[in-house]
């Protein structure tokens, strides 16, 4: 503005304006410092606000994936150990049948073998009803509490249970009973029942048949355990990836939302000095008038 | 040849004029902080010989003293016009920023308590239910997360609706203020016309007139025009608000409950509707907010609510509840005002459509519902971004306008403002001149004394 005449009011107004502006800037820095955030409302930076909201939502998703992965690891781990323990028991049952084939001498001895086989069957049945957080792991999506009833019949409901453990990684976390233990007369439990009967009766042919079937079951269980193991590995990889992603997201969120403390402090000091300068200048400029010098 | 006592009269005229000059300086100093006061200047004219040459009565006067020529009011009508226009714009933008700021602070983004956070929590609750469909706690969590989300959306919609209603009241209040100001201006116009007839000093009235006209353009953005009789007419979009000594009133109707805001000017016999976009100043800003910006934001919120409810309901309908029933809606809303009426339609945790297969603990449908939230989340992000941008641009425009207004106001102040140093100098100069004039009188007195009492006296 080209000034040809200056009045006291102009001085007062412009001083007031600069002091207001200085105080406003001081307040802005102060707000950033006290809240610790540069983004306090959408208009502070609409683009960064959108980024912050997106990052927060991605973060929530990553946390969900982590929770899902925890659950998946629990389930798959339990299935893995259960299958391991069951495999060794089936192996023992097979040895017992083998002893029967190899010609256990008397009926008492055969009876003893058969009793042990029956006990193993009971124990295997109990393990097949293993549950994770009250849900039978071999029962599919059943609402019941067990996967097998006392006679060894599968009472579960077919249906896959899956967990999303990464943005595009979904892992199946259950094993349906019939898929690993067989169904009907060929099921593990029916086979063991038949084997026990054959051992008592000394029926060589039946015992041979049971041996073959048990070998088949062992293969199947081994293969399933391998599948479960590979799923566990998949989940673990996803957990690591999710952890990395979470860390990266938190860092980015902090970059976008949080205040750069040293910079803000320097800014605060600068604005403070500027404000004090404005105050000092106003005090000096408004004080003198011609009246001070006229007598 | 001037008469013997002519110099007395010259001295007297100087005494009179300098008294006036001191008066004017004193008045300027007294009004240094008065709003709308325009400094005056006493213009002196020297009264010399008769200015009109005459053939038979030649004047051989050499000096006749001084007289007050005019009492000037230091204004520039062009600057006044500029200042009024800029003040109108400033008031428009400031009002807009104030209201938008308030609405924005109700959004609460980005943060842990806004709608975005509620959307995330809602999605997480569904995903957890997908993991544990058998748990009563997971079902209840989905219901309460849904209720929290619906509340958050409703609160935002209510914020905007309340603001619209408040602004409609504000418009009515502004209307009353405009009416009162217009009436005062009409009154001043009447006095000005009278003052012009009888020749009274009308400078104070002119100050008052300009101040009222400024006030009217701050309120309405209307245009003021000086009348030949010294008054000022104000029109808004060509419709007269003040004409000479008559003023009209502003009518405000509608605005709330979905009815459009209608603004008009009533001159006592007919009401002329003035489009809301034609108003400026504070009333213009309120009209713009009530008719455009706020309803747009509300419509955006409605859009988010509809997107959310439609996506979630579609996915939810395919799922079976524990009672074996499918095809239920999760959210319910009223099509006019979706955001303001969003609520959870499911009343019991057993009705949640969690399973894709009836009568099982299948959680896959819950997982699918949780995945539907993302669409609503991104449309909400766009809405917040859009609103944030409009607040930001309004704030920037207002602060840019502040510079322009300050500049124009500065130019006006340069011309009209009182400078104390200048007035002190004027005062001192008048004082000295007064003293000198007094000395002139006493000198002439001494001279005449010499003439009368000393002439012919030799000792």
Quote the pLDDT of residue A1: 47
Nearest CB among A45, A56, A71 relative to B120 is that of A56
Residue B64 has pLDDT above 80, yes or no: no
Quote the pLDDT of residue A108: 85
Residue-wise pLDDT for A228-249, tens only, equals: 999 999 999 999 999 999 999 9
Quote the pLDDT of residue B70: 86
Residues of B in Cβ contact (< 8 Å) with A60: 120-121, 123-124
Angle (CA) B187-B188-B194 rounded to 5° is: 95
Looking at CA atoms only, how far is residue A182 from chain B in angstroms? 22
Nearest CB among A45, A57, A135 relative to B134 is that of A135
Distance, in Å, from the CA atom of B223 to the CA atom of B239, rounded to the nearest integer, reads 10
Task: Give the residue-averaged pLDDT of B284-299.
Answer: 93
Confidence bin at B5 (pLDDT 50/70/90): confident
Integer CA distances (angstroms), A213 to A92, A124, A132, A148, B13, in order? 14, 16, 29, 20, 140
Compute the residue count for chain B. 459
What residues of chain B, 97 to 156, have a C-beta less than 8 Å from chain A? Answer: 104-105, 107, 109-110, 116-117, 119-121, 123-124, 127-128, 131-132, 134
Nearest CB among B363, B392, B419 relative to A43 is that of B392
Nearest CB among A9, A135, A140 relative to B413 is that of A9
Residue-wise pLDDT for B77-117, tens only, equals: 888 999 999 999 999 999 999 999 999 988 888 888 889 99
Percent of chain B whose predicted confidence (pLDDT) is above 90: 66
Contact A294 B415 (CB under 8 A): no
Confidence bin at A295 (pLDDT 50/70/90): low
Q: In chain B, whose CA is at the least distance from the CA of A135?
A: B134
Contact A46 B362 (CB under 8 A): no
Q: In chain B, whose CA is at the least distance from the CA of A253?
A: B110
Confidence bin at B49 (pLDDT 50/70/90): low
Confidence bin at B457 (pLDDT 50/70/90): confident
Integer CA distances (angstroms), B443 to A227, B163, B455, B459, in order? 129, 78, 17, 23
Task: Give the residue-averaged pLDDT of A266-276.
Answer: 92
Partners of B43 in the β-ladder: B70
User: What distance separates the 2 farthest-apart alpha carbons in chain B?
Assistant: 148
Looking at CA atoms only, how far is residue A171 from chain B in angstroms? 12
Q: Check if the beta carbon of residue A210 is closer than 8 Å to that of residue A194.
A: yes
Listed in sequence order, the residues at least 6 apart from A35 whose beta carbon sits closer than 8 Å to its beta carbon are: A259
Q: Name the residue among B251, B258, B254 with its Cα closest to residue B236.
A: B251
Q: Which has more confidence, A93 or B54?
A: A93
Q: Residue A150's CB: how many other CB atoms inside 10 A?
A: 8
Residue B247: what are its φ and ψ, rounded to 5°?
-125, 150
Q: How does DSSP assign B81-129, residue by residue?
A: HHHHHHHHHHHHHHHHHHHHHHHHHTT--SSSSSHHHHHHHHHHHHHHH
Residue-wise pLDDT for B401-428, tens only, equals: 999 999 998 888 888 888 888 899 999 9
Contact B105 A64 (CB under 8 A): no
Contact A49 B410 (CB under 8 A): no
Task: Give the residue-averaged pLDDT of B185-204.
Answer: 89
Residues of A in Cβ contact (< 8 Å) with B419: 5-8
What residues of chain B, 16 to 55, have a C-beta less than 8 Å from chain A? Answer: 32-33
Q: Where are the beta strands (DSSP E) in B17-106?
A: 40-46, 66-73
Q: Name the residue among B321, B326, B310, B376 with its Cα closest to residue B349.
A: B321
Percent of chain B whose predicted confidence (pLDDT) is above 70: 96
Confidence bin at B52 (pLDDT 50/70/90): low
Listed in sequence order, the residues at least 6 apart from B391 whose beta carbon sits closer than 8 Å to its beta carbon are: A41, A42, A43, B97, B100, B101, B104
Q: What is the DSSP letter of B293?
A: I
Quote the pLDDT of residue A12: 84
B382 interfaces chain A, CB cutoff of 8 Å: yes
Q: In chain B, whose CA is at the least distance from the CA of A2?
A: B411
Quote the pLDDT of residue A186: 87
Residue-wise pLDDT for A13-37, tens only, equals: 888 888 888 899 999 999 999 999 8
Residues of A in Cβ contact (< 8 Å) with B428: 294
Residue B118 has pLDDT above 50, yes or no: yes
Element spanning A61, H or E = helix A46-101
Task: Give the residue-averaged pLDDT of A40-45.
Answer: 90
Quote the pLDDT of residue B381: 93
Q: Which has more confidence, B258 or A240?
A: A240
Q: Residue B88's CB: how many other CB atoms inside 10 A?
A: 25
Looking at CA atoms only, how far is residue A230 from chain B in angstroms? 21
B355 interfaces chain A, CB cutoff of 8 Å: yes
Quote the pLDDT of residue B180: 96
What residues of chain B, 389 to 428, have a C-beta less than 8 Å from chain A? Answer: 389, 391-392, 395, 406-407, 409-411, 413-415, 417-421, 424-425, 428
Q: Check if the beta carbon of residue B145 is closer than 8 Å to that of residue B210.
A: no
Task: Give the residue-averaged pLDDT of B331-350.
Answer: 92
Residue B274: what are its φ and ψ, rounded to 5°?
-110, 125
Partners of A148 in the β-ladder: A154
Average pLDDT value for chain B = 90
Partners of A132 in the β-ladder: A135
- Residues B212-235 as b/e (b if ≥16 CB within 10 A, e otherwise) read bbbbbbbbbbbbbebeeebbbbbb
Confidence bin at B290 (pLDDT 50/70/90): very high
Nearest CB among A3, A63, A159 relative to B414 is that of A3
Q: Check if the beta carbon of residue B124 is closer than 8 Å to that of residue B132.
A: no
Residue written as tokens 């009154």? B187
Q: What is the DSSP letter of A44?
A: G
Residues of B in Cβ contact (< 8 Å) with A50: 381-382, 384-385
Preferred mutation among A4, A6, A50, A53 to probe B, highest tally of B CBs within 10 A: A53
Quote the pLDDT of residue A4: 76
The ipTM is 0.84
Distance, in Å, from the CA atom of B162 to the CA atom of B385, rounded to the nearest integer, reads 22
Residue-wise pLDDT for B214-242, tens only, equals: 999 999 999 999 998 889 999 999 999 99
Looking at CA atoms only, how far is residue A145 from chain B in angstroms? 11
Pairs across A and B, CB distance < 8 A: 157
Helix (H/G/I), strand (E/B), else coil: A164: strand
Residue-wise pLDDT for A171-221, tens only, equals: 999 999 999 998 888 899 999 999 999 888 888 888 889 899 999 999 999
Q: Residue B430's CB: how many other CB atoms inside 10 A?
A: 21
Distance, in Å, from the CA atom of A261 to the CA atom of A241, rounded to the nearest integer, reads 30
Residue B285 has pLDDT above 50, yes or no: yes
Contact A10 B413 (CB under 8 A): yes
Q: Check if the beta carbon of residue B326 is closer than 8 Å to that of residue B353.
A: yes
Q: Per the omega criterion (within 30 degrees of 0), is the bond before B110 cis?
A: yes
Q: What is the 3-state secondary structure (H, E, C) of A215-267?
A: HHHHHHHHHHHHHHHHHHHHHHHHHHHHHHHHHHHHHHHHHHHECCHHHHHHH
Contact A294 B110 (CB under 8 A): no
Q: Which has more confidence, A283 or B306?
A: B306
Q: Residue B274's CB: how many other CB atoms inside 10 A?
A: 23
Helix (H/G/I), strand (E/B), else coil: B57: coil
Contact B421 A43 (CB under 8 A): no
Quote the pLDDT of residue B405: 92
Preferred mutation among B388, B400, B423, B431 to probe A, highest tally of A CBs within 10 A: B388
Q: Which has more confidence, B244 or B201?
A: B244
Residue B2 has pLDDT above 70, yes or no: no
Nearest CB among A14, A63, A294 relative to B428 is that of A294
Nearest CB among B121, B367, B421 relative to A164 is that of B367
Query: Would you state the structure tokens that stand for residue A11, as one six-digit string?
Result: 């001085």
Nearest CB among B109, B120, B406 relative to A49 is that of B109
Confidence bin at A10 (pLDDT 50/70/90): confident
Preferred mutation among A54, A67, A141 to probe B, highest tally of B CBs within 10 A: A141
Distance, in Å, from the CA atom of A288 to the CA atom of A282, rounded to the nearest integer, reads 11
Residue B192 has pLDDT above 80, yes or no: yes
Residue A162 has pLDDT above 50, yes or no: yes
Residues of B in Cβ contact (< 8 Å) with A294: 424, 428
Residue-wise pLDDT for B131-144, tens only, equals: 888 888 999 999 99
Residue B61 has pLDDT above 70, yes or no: no
Quote the pLDDT of residue A143: 86
Residues of B in Cβ contact (< 8 Å) with A9: 32-33, 413, 417-418
Integer CA distances (angstroms), B301 to A106, B153, B325, in order? 85, 8, 32
Partners of B262 in the β-ladder: B253
Task: Give the residue-averaged pLDDT of B261-276.
Answer: 91
């Amino acid at each position: 503005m080209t000034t040809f005449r200056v009045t006291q009011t102009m001085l007062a107004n412009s001083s007031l304006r600069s002091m207001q502006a200085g105080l406003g800037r001081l307040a802005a820095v102060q707000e950033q410092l006290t809240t610790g955030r540069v983004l306090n409302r959408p208009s502070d930076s609409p683009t960064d606000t959108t980024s912050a909201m997106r990052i927060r939502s991605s973060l929530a998703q990553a946390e969900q994936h982590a929770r899902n992965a925890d659950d998946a690891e629990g389930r798959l781990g339990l299935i893995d150990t259960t299958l391991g323990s069951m495999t060794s028991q089936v192996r023992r049952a097979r040895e017992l049948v083998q002893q029967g084939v190899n010609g256990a001498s008397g009926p008492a001895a055969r009876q003893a073998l058969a009793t042990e086989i029956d006990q193993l069957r009971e124990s295997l049945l109990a393990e097949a009803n293993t549950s994770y957080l009250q849900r039978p792991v071999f029962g599919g999506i059943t609402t019941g509490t067990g996967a097998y009833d006392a006679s060894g019949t599968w009472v579960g409901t077919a249906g896959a249970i899956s967990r999303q453990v990464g943005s595009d990684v979904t892992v199946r976390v259950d094993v349906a009973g019939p898929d690993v233990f067989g169904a009907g007369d060929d099921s593990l439990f029916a086979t063991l029942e038949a084997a026990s009967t054959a051992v008592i009766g000394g029926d060589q042919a039946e015992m041979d048949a049971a041996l073959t079937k048990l070998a088949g079951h062992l293969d199947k269980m081994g293969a399933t355990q391998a599948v479960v193991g590979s799923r566990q590995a998949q989940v673990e990889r996803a957990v690591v990836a999710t952890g990395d992603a979470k860390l990266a997201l938190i860092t980015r969120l902090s970059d976008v939302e949080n205040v750069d403390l040293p910079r803000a402090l320097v800014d605060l000091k600068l604005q403070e000095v500027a404000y004090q300068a404005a105050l000092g200048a106003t005090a000096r400029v408004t004080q003198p008038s011609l009246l001070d010098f006229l007598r | 040849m001037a008469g013997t006592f002519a110099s007395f009269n010259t001295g007297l005229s100087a005494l009179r004029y300098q008294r006036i000059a001191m008066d004017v300086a004193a008045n300027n100093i007294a009004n240094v902080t008065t709003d709308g006061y325009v400094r005056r200047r006493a213009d002196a004219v020297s009264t010399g010989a008769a200015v009109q040459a005459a053939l038979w009565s030649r004047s051989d006067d050499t000096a006749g003293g001084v007289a007050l020529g005019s009492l000037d009011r230091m204004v520039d009508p062009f600057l006044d016009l500029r200042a009024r226009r800029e003040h109108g714009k400033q008031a428009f933008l400031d009002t807009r920023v104030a209201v938008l700021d308030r609405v924005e602070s109700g959004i609460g983004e980005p943060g842990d308590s806004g709608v975005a956070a509620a959307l995330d929590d809602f999605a997480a609750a569904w995903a957890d239910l997908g993991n544990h469909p058998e748990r009563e706690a997971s079902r209840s969590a989905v219901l309460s997360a849904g209720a929290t989300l619906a509340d958050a959306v409703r609160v935002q919609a209510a914020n905007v609706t309340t603001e619209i209603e408040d602004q409609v009241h504000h418009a009515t209040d502004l209307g009353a203020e405009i009416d009162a100001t217009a009436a005062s201006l009409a009154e001043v116009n009447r006095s000005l016309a009278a003052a012009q007839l009888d020749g009274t000093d009308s400078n104070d009235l002119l100050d008052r007139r300009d101040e009222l006209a400024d006030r009217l353009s701050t309120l309405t953005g209307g245009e003021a025009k000086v009348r030949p009789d010294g008054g000022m007419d104000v029109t808004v979009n060509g419709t007269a608000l003040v004409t000479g000594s008559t003023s009209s009133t502003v009518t405000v109707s509608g605005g709330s409950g979905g009815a459009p805001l209608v603004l008009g000017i009533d001159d006592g016999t007919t009401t002329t509707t003035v489009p809301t976009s034609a108003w400026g100043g504070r009333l213009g800003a309120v009209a713009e907010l009530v008719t455009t910006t706020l309803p747009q934001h509300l419509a955006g919120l409605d859009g988010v609510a509809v997107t959310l409810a439609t996506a979630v309901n579609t996915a939810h309908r395919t799922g079976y509840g524990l009672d074996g029933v499918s095809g239920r809606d999760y959210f319910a809303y009223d099509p006019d005002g979706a955001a303001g009426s969003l609520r959870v339609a499911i009343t019991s945790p057993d009705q949640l459509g969690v399973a894709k297969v009836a009568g099982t603990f299948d959680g896959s449908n819950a997982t699918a519902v949780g995945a539907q939230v993302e669409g609503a989340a991104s449309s909400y992000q766009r809405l917040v971004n859009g609103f944030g941008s409009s607040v930001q641009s309004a704030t920037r425009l207002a602060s840019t306008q502040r510079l322009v207004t300050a500049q124009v106001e500065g130019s006006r102040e340069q011309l009209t403002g009182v400078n104390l140093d200048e007035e002190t100098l004027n005062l001192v100069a008048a004082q000295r001149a007064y003293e000198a004039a007094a000395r002139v009188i006493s000198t002439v007195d001494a001279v005449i004394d010499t003439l009368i009492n000393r002439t012919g006296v030799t000792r």
